[in-house]
Structure formats: C-alpha cells, structure tokens
Amino acid sequence: MNGAQSLIRTLVDAGVDVCFANPGTSEMHFVAALDTVPEMRGVLTLFEGVATGAADGYARIAGRPAAALLHLGPGLGNGLANLHNARRARTPVVTVVGDHATYHKKYDAPLESDIDSVAGTLGWVRRSVSPAEVGADAAFAVAASQEPPGGVATLILPADISWTDGGTAVKPVPPRSPQQVPETTVKAIAEALRTGEPAALLIGGSATHEPALRAVSRIAAATGAKPFAEVFPARIVRGAGVPNVERLGYLAEHASHQLTGIKHVIVAGMKPPVSFFAYPGKPSDLVPEGARVHTLAEPGQDVVEALEALADEVAPDTAPILQEAQRPELPSGPLTVQNWVEVIGALLPENAIIADEAQTSGVLLPAATAGAPRHDVLTLTGGAIGQGLPVAVGAAIAAPDRPVIALEADGSALYTISALWTMARENLDITTVVLNNRAYGILRVELQRVGAEGSGPKANDLLDLSRPDLDFVKIAEGMGVPASRATTAEELAEQLSRALAEPGPHLIDAIVPPLV
C-alpha cells in the first residue's frame, strides 16, 4: 500500500467517502489510488473553487466532511475563496494539496510556491513527511476538521510520499464533543431575561437547525426576547412547521434598526454582531449603546443543549410557535424583485435545499418562502462570491433525493461558472435560477453608502455587467445544462415547474431589474 492508498483508505474509514477533485501531475498517484478503494467517490470539477465550495456544501448537508483534492499552491489559491467561506461557515472540510516530491522542492521548479503559509491562514495544516505516517495524518486531519465547531483542515501531500510504499490505513480519531455550557451561565442569562428588559437572542451555527430553533421559539414566546439568526447562516431550517426566525440584516442600518432599544444581547453559537464592512462615520459594533452582551454559547460549545436548558429554565410550559403553511399566489407580469421570489415561494417543493447567492435580487426572498414547505437555506457565509453554484453541487451529492435550487446573482455566477459542467456530468438534480440584472447590484448600493466622492462614468462602468449582456442560456448549454430564459413571472413559473419535474440539472436565466 503506497501513501496515497493509505490516505484514501483512512479517509473512507473515517467517513470521508467523496472527493471533489481538480488534480494535476503531482496528484496522479492519488488519482490512480482511487481505483483501489471502491468506496471513495471522485467528482471532477474544472476549477478548484468548485471543488472547495462543493466540499463546503456537501458537509453543510451531510454533517460530515468531504475531501477536496487540489494541485499545489496555485490550486490552493484557486480554492481559497470558497475555503474562506467554509471557514466562516465552520464547515468541516479536508483539503488535500499535492506538492512536489520532497527531494524536488529545493530545485524551485516553476510550480514551487509556499503552500504552507497560504494554507496556514485557514486553520489546521499538516505536511506529510513519510508514507508510514500519511494514514495517521489523514485521521488527524479528519478529526481536526470536525473539532467543534468545525473548520478547514489541510493536508499537504508530497508526490513521493504519495507514491512510495509503506502506507498503512489508520483508524478514525474520534473528534471531541462540543464543550458543555456551565449551568451557571444558563441561570445568569435566565435571570437577565426575567428582568423583562428588552432582549435579543442572536443565534448561529447549529442553533439555526432544529431542535435548537424550537428552544429559541419557546424562549422568545415566554420572555419576549426577539430572536434573530446570524446574517449569513451556513444552514438554516425554514418553512411550514418550523419556527420562523428572522435573520439580522446585511446592511448595518437594518441590523441597528432590528436591535433598537435592546438592553440585553444574548449570543448563542455566534459572536456579537458587527457590520459587514466599515463605513465613514458609522459604528462597526452593532451592539446597541448601553446594552449588555451575554454569551450563552461560543461557537464550539454545545449551543443546542444550552438553548434547551435555557428554554426549560424560562419557558418550561411554553410550546414553540411553528410557522403555518402559506404560499404566495403565483404572480404575473414582467419579472420584478418582488414577483420572482413569489414564484419561488409558490412552487418550492417539499424538502428542498436552497443555495442562496441571489444578493440584492434576493432581499425579499425570506418573506416569500417563510410558509413554503420545510427546506434548508445555505448562504454566503464568508462574503466571497462565487459560492452558490459549488455549494449546490455539494448539497446535491450529499442529498441525492432532495431537490436543490441555486438562486444565483449574475455577477457572482461567473466566478465558478464551470460548476454547471459538474452538475451535468453527475446528473445532479439542481435547478439554477440566475438573477440576471446586468450589474454588480450590491456595489451600486455600496458606492452610495460609502459616500465615495467624485464617482462618475468610469466608476459606474466598473459596476455594470452589460455591454455585452451575459447570456446564461448559451453559457449553460455550452456546459451541458439545459436552459431557458424567463422575462415574466408566468415564464419563470412555467420553466421552474418543468425543471423541478425533470431529473438532472436545469438553468433559468431570469432577467430582472436591478434593485437600484
């Protein structure tokens, strides 16, 4: 058994049996070893950002890591933006970066670069130094990725360590359990809630899944505390039969408004809220002046148990308030920022997964889908655009029986557009709706907000995606995904119904007006 074979066997034994790959020469022994471990599924992507984003999406749904196989420093670079998003999502991801053979590095061959420093910005890194140790390195990498609350673990695998005999498969290293929250913390926060002063309960991490959402709803119902989910949850469960928790606004003005008058900010599974960006003359810290921050559970602590304990403390006899089933009427007329989300709300199938990178076009989505059948929403956790299509790929591979809907802004789509090809090759049941407003809409908003002086035609040109217009029907067809264009709500509804009824990937190029 060579190093590569022991690596793959160890990964599979630890439950990592999908590898999103974009390999090169230094990874050829890893690639060859795939045929010796039948349980490992290799999924080819045509760009590393698709591989890393897919690994993120996979783990958000599967609850366990996938591997991403990358080619040296440039491959890691191409995968870095979506690894950043995975780090912010606290998703377990095991990245395997091939490197030159140990004895070859000193020659500074053209592909030589400092992989370790780049990988070090993401979290846990190990460089394998002998084939005998690769198995253990892999087992530790899987455990490191699952260390609560979860993160990116990178294993750097030199080519000769991969191809040399002497590897052994190693048993999984059990990941640590999340740290328990002390009872005194729960009781102190219960006391703050009992003051009756205005309180907000801000939740992140696994607190946006059930059963934590039920505990949150009980606490809110009994104490009047306002619950909010973090701005960009890795996965939030929504829809009929689930407590409906509003998300904090992306715009600092919006979030400040949501928190107006709050005296107690209780955070559970997230850090205290901050502005996404800084703006001249505006605060970065979104905790209202004079409010006290109480940490119920830090990321990595057992937030579910803590919320349940708090609910039992302050709301022993209160039931959660569950969202009623209700859908918008199917709208008509030319597409608008309002009516396209109503189409989604009206037609969302049972048990769907939404990968949401609709950006400014999606501001009205949460309201329109609140009472749709129960579904998961995966969002842009780290702000690095180009995440939606890859995350959809990973989610569809993790849950082949669930319909996946990728809601994708035009500008964001272009970063990792070759994800469409992987959807076609793997015949994934993903319906992509591109919200094509022919602009970096968010930057038009931001250019106003930052109070930039002197901007004129040159500035606006850099935020404009027309001249030429992008034709996502042709782009999708060029990558093997059937596609159509919708300019009215009726067309979108008809095309979406058809796409959802057929297996395999589809794309709808929805021409929408910009938000501003």
Stretch that binds its own copies, among 110-118, 184-192, 318-326, 431-439 (CB under 8 A): 110-118
Tell me how far apart the alpha carbons of residues 339 and 433 are, in angstroms, rounded to a whole number.
14
Q: Between 187 and 254, whose beta carbon lies closer to its own copies?
A: 254
Which residue type occupies 182? Answer: P
Which residue type occupies 476? Answer: A
211-to-37, 96, 197, 391 alpha-carbon distances in Å: 37, 34, 26, 24
Tell me how far apart the alpha carbons of residues 421 and 418 are, in angstroms, rounded to a whole number.
5
Q: Which residues of 429-451 are buried (b: 16+ CB within 10 A; e: fewer)?
A: bbbbbbbbbbbbbbbbbbbeeee
Q: Which parts of 358-417 interact with its own copies (CB under 8 A)?
A: 381-384, 386, 411, 414-415, 417
Q: Between 40 and 310, whose beta carbon lies closer to its own copies?
A: 40
Contact (Cβ atoms closer than 8 angstroms) between residue 30 and residue 4: yes
Site string for its own copies, 236-275 (x = CB under 8 A): -----------------------------------x--xx
Which residue type occupies 243? Answer: P
Site string for its own copies, 4-23 (x = CB under 8 A): -x---------------x-x
* 351 DSSP 8-state letter: T
Q: What angle do CA 500, 502, 505 make, to 5 degrees?
A: 80
One residue of 120, 174, 224, 334 binding its own copies per CB under 8 A: 120
Tell me how far apart the alpha carbons of residues 291 and 55 are, in angstroms, rounded to a whole number.
39
Q: Is 159 in the site for its own copies (CB under 8 A)?
A: yes
Which residue type occupies 458? Answer: K
How many residues touch its own copies (CB under 8 A)? 106
One residue of 163, 315, 354, 484 binding its own copies per CB under 8 A: 163
Contact (Cβ atoms closer than 8 angstroms) between residue 270 and residue 204: yes
Q: Is 26 in the site for its own copies (CB under 8 A)?
A: yes
Stretch that binds its own copies, among 143-151, 311-319, 341-349, 442-450 (CB under 8 A): 442-450
Stretch that binds its own copies, among 68-76, 208-216, 261-269, 358-366 (CB under 8 A): 68-76
Q: Is 124 in the site for its own copies (CB under 8 A)?
A: no
Cβ 80 to its own copies, closest distance in Å? 3
Q: Is 453 in the site for its own copies (CB under 8 A)?
A: yes
Q: Is 168 in the site for its own copies (CB under 8 A)?
A: no
430-to-285, 358, 464 alpha-carbon distances in Å: 38, 15, 28
One residue of 132, 173, 450, 500 binding its own copies per CB under 8 A: 450
Q: Is 289 in the site for its own copies (CB under 8 A)?
A: no
Stretch that binds its own copies, among 189-197, 293-301, 369-377, 467-475 (CB under 8 A): 467-475
Phi, psi for residue 172 in degrees, rounded to 5? -60, 145
CB atoms within 10 A of CB 238: 26
One residue of 39, 121, 332, 334 binding its own copies per CB under 8 A: 121
Q: Which parts of 184-243 interact with its own copies (CB under 8 A)?
A: 231-232
Residue 367 burial by CB count (10 A; 0-12/13-18/19+): exposed, middle or buried?
Answer: middle
One residue of 16, 31, 190, 291 binding its own copies per CB under 8 A: 31
Cβ 100 to its own copies, closest distance in Å? 6
Q: Between 332 and 448, whose beta carbon lies closer to its own copies?
A: 448
Contact (Cβ atoms closer than 8 angstroms) between residue 67 and residue 18: yes
What 3 state SS string does 175-218 have?
Answer: CCCCECCCHHHHHHHHHHHHCCCCEEEEECHHHHCCCHHHHHHH
Q: Between 160 and 308, whose beta carbon lies closer to its own copies?
A: 160
Q: Which of 276, 203, 287 is nearest to 245 (CA)?
A: 203
Q: Is 461 in the site for its own copies (CB under 8 A)?
A: yes
One residue of 447, 488, 490, 500 binding its own copies per CB under 8 A: 447
Stretch that binds its own copies, among 181-189, 316-324, 363-371, 448-456 (CB under 8 A): 448-456
Q: Between 279 and 322, whose beta carbon lies closer to its own copies?
A: 279
Contact (Cβ atoms closer than 8 angstroms) between residue 118 and residue 80: yes
Cβ 159 to its own copies, closest distance in Å? 6
Tell me how far apart the alpha carbons of residues 53 and 118 are, in angstroms, rounded to a whole number.
17
Stretch that binds its own copies, among 186-194, 305-313, 327-335, 463-471 (CB under 8 A): 463-471
One residue of 180, 459, 502, 503 binding its own copies per CB under 8 A: 459
Q: Is 458 in the site for its own copies (CB under 8 A)?
A: yes
One residue of 15, 39, 117, 257 binding its own copies per CB under 8 A: 117
